[in-house]
């Protein structure tokens, strides 16, 4: 039996946004590994073992998946959105460091629709010009790094997408981020809060930075800040394609 490992993105929530490529590997898999709510999206079937695990154990989860693939299983690690965006793909490559045996395995990364793209599409085209995305969680990097990146991105006039904006365990970080952005970009800059995009709970709000409050975001929200030219047209928000 030849094992393999696929690291797959399930998209933002709607099953229609799971790519056919990802559906095909899931149909062939013997094992699905991932964070509990993502594994919960996989329909159980005979011959498929589901291995849900808690958050923050990414490296252990990656090693367990590699062990199973090395033993001949057909393993899919599932992430939400895209597996390369603040998700499991990097954890798998980190686990491969120094492991020549695992490096010889059949490993594929299968892209998915990441939250910021689904959110931007729902809002209009706020990422229609140059943009960057920043993870606001300080679990894996010091807050000073986040703050420096926010200031530099603002000064370079990038539109920005923020992942993991605010959690119960660190509610103060997003308030600090908003204060920094208000200082750099001024009160009139548009900011969109896109919650649970592509699910029945989807909710989008666009306000100015002057009106934004930390409570507008939670861990199911991706936040999109416009650049200096981003504006409203009808019920949409977009960033022009050119800079003059």
Task: Give the binding site for ligand SAH (CB under 6 A).
Answer: 12-13, 79-82, 85-87, 114-115, 119, 163-165, 194-199, 219-222
Which is it for strands 31-35 and 49-53: parallel, antiparallel or unpaired? parallel
Judged by beta carbon, residue 38 or residue 102, the one nearer ligand SAH is: 38
Least Å distance between CB 199 and ligand SAH?
Answer: 6
187 CB neighbour count, 10 Å cutoff: 10
Name the residue with the smallest CB distance to ligand SAH.
81
As measured in angstroms, the least distance from the Cβ of 80 to ligand SAH is 5
Minimum CB–partner distance for residue 197 and ligand SAH (Å): 4
> Smaller CB distance to ligand SAH: residue 114 or 239?
114
Q: Which stretches of the chain are DSSP H helices?
A: 20-28, 36-39, 58-70, 88-96, 100-103, 115-123, 143-155, 172-185
Alpha carbon dihedral 184, 187, 188, 190, in 10-degree steps, equals 70
Residue 31 or 82: the one with the smaller Cβ distance to ligand SAH is: 82
CB of 180 to ligand SAH, least distance (A): 18
Nearer Cβ to ligand SAH (70/143): 143
3-state SS assignment for residue 29: coil
- Using alpha carbons, list the distances in angstroms from residue 164 to 39, 94, 136, 159: 19, 21, 6, 17
Q: Closest distance between ligand SAH and the C-beta of residue 10, in Å?
A: 9
Helix then strand count (H, E) for the chain reads 8, 13
Give the residue with the Cβ less far from ligand SAH, 63 or 166.
Answer: 166
């Amino acid at each position: 039996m030849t094992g393999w490992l696929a690291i797959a993105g399930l998209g933002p929530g709607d099953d229609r946004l799971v790519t056919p490529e990802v559906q095909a590997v899931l149909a062939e898999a013997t094992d699905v590994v991932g964070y509990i709510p993502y594994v919960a999206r996989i329909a159980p079937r005979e011959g498929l073992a589901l291995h849900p695990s808690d958050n923050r154990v990414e490296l252990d989860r990656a090693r367990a998946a590699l062990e199973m693939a090395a033993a001949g299983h057909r393993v899919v690690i599932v992430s939400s959105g895209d597996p390369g965006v603040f998700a499991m793909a990097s954890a798998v490559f980190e686990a491969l460091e120094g492991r020549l045996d695992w490096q010889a395995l059949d490993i594929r990364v299968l892209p998915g629709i990441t939250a910021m793209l689904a959110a931007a599409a729902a809002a209009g085209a706020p990422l229609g010009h140059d943009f960057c995305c920043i993870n606001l969680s300080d679990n894996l990097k010091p807050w000073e790094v986040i703050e420096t990146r926010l200031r530099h991105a603002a000064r370079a006039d990038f539109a920005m997408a923020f992942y993991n904006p605010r959690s119960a365990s660190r509610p103060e970080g997003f308030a600090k981020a908003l204060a920094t952005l208000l200082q750099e970009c001024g009160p009139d800059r548009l900011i969109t809060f896109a919650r649970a995009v592509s699910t029945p709970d989807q909710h989008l709000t666009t306000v100015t930075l002057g009106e934004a409050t930390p409570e507008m975001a939670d861990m199911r929200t991706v936040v999109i800040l416009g650049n200096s030219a981003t504006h409203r047209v009808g019920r949409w928000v977009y960033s022009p394609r050119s800079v003059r």
